[in-house]
Structure 1
Amino acid sequence: MTGHTRRTKIVATIGPASANPATVSALIEAGMDGARLNLSHGTQDDHARTAQLVRDAEAAAGRPISLIADLQGPKLRVGDLDHEVELEDGGSVVIAGEDAAQDGDIPVSPAVLGSVLQPGNDVLIDDGMVRLRVDRVERGRARCDVVVGGTVAAHKGVNVPGIPLPIPSLTRKDLDDLDAALEFGVDFVALSFVRSASDVTALRTLIEARGSHAWVIAKIEKAEAVAALDAILGEAHGVMVARGDLGVEIGAAEVPLLQKRIIHHALERSKPVITATQMLESMIHSPEPTRAEASDIANAILDGTSAIMLSGETAIGEHPVEAVAVMDRIALAVEPHLGYRHETPQASDEPTIDQAMSNAACDVAEALSASAILVPTFTGRTASAVARLRPQRAILALTHNMDSLRHLALEWGVTPLEITETTDVEDLWTRSIAAARDSGFVSSGERIVITAGTAVNLPGGTNVIKVDLA
């Protein structure tokens, strides 16, 4: 795969530092495949303008860009403060739900904390930078010892590891933000603090009821989600390894192996998986990454992640375009060392037709050293099934469906290409080959492998593998 095109996709969060036409265009030119809108911050009008910036830059670039709305979810946060609070090691402080907070307390919303805390519980603020331990609880107010001091600012995140919270998976803010995000046409909705498959099902039902084709990404960042991973993967269109809150919830030492496990399970399900949080944290201020950060990105790629994500690095950082370019260079250096995940499903595995056909198509393409695997598709599912095997060949997904083009922009190794609609299978193959040639991924006369369905434009109908010349 020398001279190959980068196959691991890059997601960048668009925020105050990058929400302008020049920077968004530069991010796409540097290699951004997906743009994330963090709905925990900013206004709906801000995000609507950013979404339009992305769509304008997408049209100018001539390739699909996934737009991801990341809902805040049932996140505990410090409430409004008149000023930042400095806590010293060994001191004490009272935390309380906003409805019970008194002068000098640290208010936390939603106002459920006082009803669930018990003496001995840990309370972590700002991703664990400040650590408190509950001493006693009275009338919804918890007096805590300061184990690790620091600065507490308004609206910083609060975690209570191991304590189930009686909060719905979608808050009122989330429902309002969801309506706005679907209105400006996002392709994915990321659901924060997923606890069960039913959380994902509820969001999918709401999206479908609003007539949207947006896919759901379940963020794995709680112990409950890890325990229910397979069930969640059965309902979600993709997952995110949200390492920030996951590390706070279960401990940083557990995250690396969990990352590998989540990625592996997602691959087995043919679901795209995004690895996120602090991948290039130092580049918020530095123009160069640390060696540890470069290794972290490389290891996520070697684990098999579909995409790698930047958060503060591009949302508020001083070097957003450089951060994307660094990810691009690391991926290009690492990917040639990825192995083909050859799998021959057994009847006892009960593979789907898509899985069996994609396995066979990849095997044929590898055996013949084909230049590319062409996947004419309606929903994109067959292209995802091919991508899960990480073949050495280019994967070209051909579709007239704009929703599928943008969904596949986040799928590992898949280059989504638009073709005009047809109902004739022979015409579909002809148009697909022509588009592959026009894209520059294959040259006239090179061998290609096509896998598709003879029932054109019907999901789940893959039943043909065809070897042809471009």
Structure 2
Amino acid sequence: MRRAKIVATLGPATGTPDRIAALIEGGANVIRVNASHGTAETRGRWIEVVRRAADGAGVPVAVLVDLQGPRIRVGELAGSRVLRPGEVVVFAPQELATGGEIPTTYADLARDARPGARILLNDGLLAVEVTEIAPPRVRALVVDGGPLTSHKGMNLPGLQVSAPALTEKDCEDVRDAVARGADYVALSFVRRAEDMAELRRLVPPTVQIVAKIEKATALEDLDRILTACDAVMVARGDLGVELPFEEVPIVQKRLIREANRRGKPVITATQMLESMVNHPRPTRAEASDVANAILDGTDAVMLSAETATGEFPLEAVRAMDRIIRETERQSSGAVREGRRMGELEEVSAEDAIAIGTHAVARMLRTPLIVTLTKGGFTARKVAALRPPVPILAVTTEASTFRQLALVWGVAPVVVDHVPGYDAMLEVVRDLILKRGLARPGDRIVMTAGVPWEVSGTTNLLKVEVV
């Protein structure tokens, strides 16, 4: 089975029932719904279609709703404007901008900016340096010029932005996502752990929260952010604007490594197969990019414009599936396993059980690890060590069944509740034989929390015979 997972983004190119079903059939494990675009009604219909398609295919598929966040943009310009190096420009709140001033959607720009700071426009293609603050206006000198049009993004690298972590729109979108049964909600432009705590207060325990790391300031509070979130996304688009481009590959590796060490699922995102927006085959560099993320230890790789607006969305999913499978087939699992185990600095009882499960499966060469899990805690602990065999995660919770679709190496199964470990073991044996996951007489490693109905307690490791 393929261990790393695929996240596919819905959009105009894939928003129909047949296209959504085709994405799932092609290998998408998580469907991303971008709250920056479309209406709540459209997103709700998409989520319903995803649920029906996944049920029809008999596979777990998680829904991730990606919040817009406090994105700062250029306001409405009269037309395209060319900024020339050496030119002095003035930014003003959009309701106050006059004449040749550049309007911005961020009313507090003058409060947050500092002389000498850079403001990047249009994904970093244009850059200006702040020379004077005259609230509510900011005067700046154009460093890197070019054409500027309405609604282009503005980045303030290195500055602590005072905008709220969650906008009014975000809060409405969170409530809607929860009501429609989203499995994950991702927060954009996370700056500190408190941002995640604010989101956590808006969602029930059954919904997991994802920290999108796309601001340089987030790296300064990374430990606390990783503790506060359930999963993390390496959002390389804005991160590559905030940081020098040559730093992004190393930051990506650091983020994946730290997420692995904490047992938090990690998604590597942005421009992975970007050329497939317009072409039916990826470039060799893109194939290498996906493969390197897999070798780094990412749980999932994400397609954005490739499936949302691209001309070849289904081909993009299939191409990513092929790259992952070949990379996993060719790579050395032993190197990854040893590194993951060695990176555990503080070992809890649950970590010790997970390490033991991994070691026993390897030494006995069992074909399968089985975790009995209510909330997914046990399965994530074991998966974080990247064992050499698949992990069958057996749960009674539909939300856990879907959420584990994101986690590396985990094949989730949902079953009816039966009381006690022995009764559940018989259910598991029947499942394994019906699915051909092992043969009669094979040994398997079982891990669970006892009582197994209680989430977050991993305290049992047993070797059983199918």
* TM-score under structure 1 length normalisation: 0.94
In the alignment, which residue of structure 2 is the partner of 1:464?
Answer: 460
Distance 1:222 1:25, change over 3 A: same
Q: Distance in 2 between matches of 1:198 and 1:205?
A: 11
Q: 2:300 aligns with which of 292, 300, 307?
A: 307
In the alignment, which residue of structure 1 is the partner of 2:122?
Answer: 126
In the alignment, which residue of structure 1 is the partner of 2:68?
Answer: 72
Q: Distance in 1 between matches of 2:278 and 2:440?
A: 47
CA positional deviation for 1:461: 2.9
In the alignment, which residue of structure 1 is the partner of 2:255?
Answer: 262
Aligned residue pair count: 462
In the alignment, which residue of structure 2 is the partner of 1:14?
Answer: 10
Q: 1:193 aligns with which of 164, 185, 189?
A: 189
SS at match of 2:92: strand
Distance 1:85 1:434, change over 3 A: farther
Q: Distance in 1 between matches of 2:438 and 2:96?
A: 66
In the alignment, which residue of structure 1 is the partner of 2:99?
Answer: 103
Q: Distance in 2 between matches of 1:461 and 1:117?
A: 47
Task: Tell me, yes or no, if the aligned pair for 1:219 and 1:239 is still in contact at 8 Å.
Answer: yes
Residue identity matched to 1:177: D
CA positional deviation for 1:248: 1.1
CA positional deviation for 1:230: 1.2
In the alignment, which residue of structure 1 is the partner of 2:315?
Answer: 322
1:235 has 2:228 as partner: yes
Q: Distance in 2 between matches of 1:342 and 1:467?
A: 22
1:356 has 2:352 as partner: yes
1:169 has 2:162 as partner: no
Residue identity matched to 1:260: K
1:214-250 CA distance string (max 9 Å, x none): 1011111122211111111111101111111112112
In the alignment, which residue of structure 2 is the partner of 1:283?
Answer: 276
Residue identity matched to 1:325: R
1:146 has 2:142 as partner: yes
Residue identity matched to 1:31: G
In the alignment, which residue of structure 2 is the partner of 1:369?
Answer: 365
SS at match of 2:406: coil
In the alignment, which residue of structure 2 is the partner of 1:333?
Answer: 326
> Which shows bigger deviation, 246-255 or 294-303?
246-255
Distance 1:344 1:213, change over 3 A: closer
Residue pairs, 1:321-470, within 5 angstroms: 321-336=314-329, 337-340=331-334, 341-342=337-338, 350-470=346-466
Q: Distance in 2 between matches of 1:11 and 1:469?
A: 35
Q: Percent identity?
A: 45
Residue pairs, 1:211-230, within 5 angstroms: 213-230=206-223
Task: Tell me, yes or no, if the aligned pair for 2:340 and 2:384 is still in contact at 8 Å.
Answer: no
1:257-295 CA distance string (max 9 Å, x none): 111111111111111001111111111111111111111
Q: Distance in 2 between matches of 1:343 and 1:304?
A: 10
CA positional deviation for 1:335: 1.1
Task: Tell me, yes or no, if the aligned pair for 1:16 and 1:316 is still in contact at 8 Å.
Answer: yes
> Which shows bigger deviation, 301-310 or 441-450?
441-450
Q: Distance in 2 between matches of 1:27 and 1:376?
A: 29
1:377-405 CA distance string (max 9 Å, x none): 10111111111111111111001101111
CA positional deviation for 1:449: 1.2
CA positional deviation for 1:90: 4.4
SS at match of 2:311: coil
Q: Distance in 1 between matches of 2:300 and 2:70?
A: 25
Q: Distance in 2 between matches of 1:150 and 1:324?
A: 35
Q: Distance in 2 between matches of 1:315 and 1:151?
A: 26
CA positional deviation for 1:438: 2.4
Distance 1:169 1:397, change over 3 A: same
In the alignment, which residue of structure 2 is the partner of 1:180?
Answer: 176
Distance 1:48 1:150, change over 3 A: farther
CA positional deviation for 1:152: 2.5
Unaligned stretches of 5+ in structure 1?
A: none
Task: Tell me, yes or no, if the aligned pair for 1:378 and 1:459 is still in contact at 8 Å.
Answer: yes
Residue identity matched to 1:36: R
Q: Distance in 1 between matches of 2:93 and 2:246?
A: 31
1:64-112 CA distance string (max 9 Å, x none): 1110111111221122334333434444433222232113332211311
Distance 1:119 1:463, change over 3 A: closer
Residue pairs, 1:240-259, within 5 angstroms: 240-259=233-252
Q: 1:116 aligns with which of 112, 115, 125?
A: 112
SS at match of 1:206: coil
* TM-score under structure 2 length normalisation: 0.95
CA positional deviation for 1:349: 5.0
Q: Distance in 2 between matches of 1:30 and 1:67?
A: 16
In the alignment, which residue of structure 2 is the partner of 1:296?
Answer: 289
Q: Distance in 2 between matches of 1:253 and 1:343?
A: 25
Q: Distance in 2 between matches of 1:44 and 1:24?
A: 18
SS at match of 2:444: strand
Task: Tell me, yes or no, if the aligned pair for 2:62 and 2:406 is still in contact at 8 Å.
Answer: yes
Distance 1:99 1:238, change over 3 A: same
Residue identity matched to 1:252: F
Q: C-alpha root-mean-square deviation of aligned residues, in Å?
A: 1.9
> Which shows bigger deviation, 299-308 or 286-295?
286-295
CA positional deviation for 1:132: 2.2
1:185-229 CA distance string (max 9 Å, x none): 110010111111111112112213xxx611011111122211111
Task: Tell me, yes or no, if the aligned pair for 2:261 and 2:340 is still in contact at 8 Å.
Answer: no
Distance 1:255 1:344, change over 3 A: closer
Distance 1:344 1:10, change over 3 A: closer
SS at match of 1:99: coil
> Which shows bigger deviation, 199-208 or 376-385?
199-208
Task: Tell me, yes or no, if the aligned pair for 1:7 and 1:413 is still in contact at 8 Å.
Answer: yes
Q: Distance in 2 between matches of 1:235 and 1:93?
A: 40
Residue identity matched to 1:176: E
Q: 1:32 aligns with which of 4, 28, 47?
A: 28
CA positional deviation for 1:33: 0.5
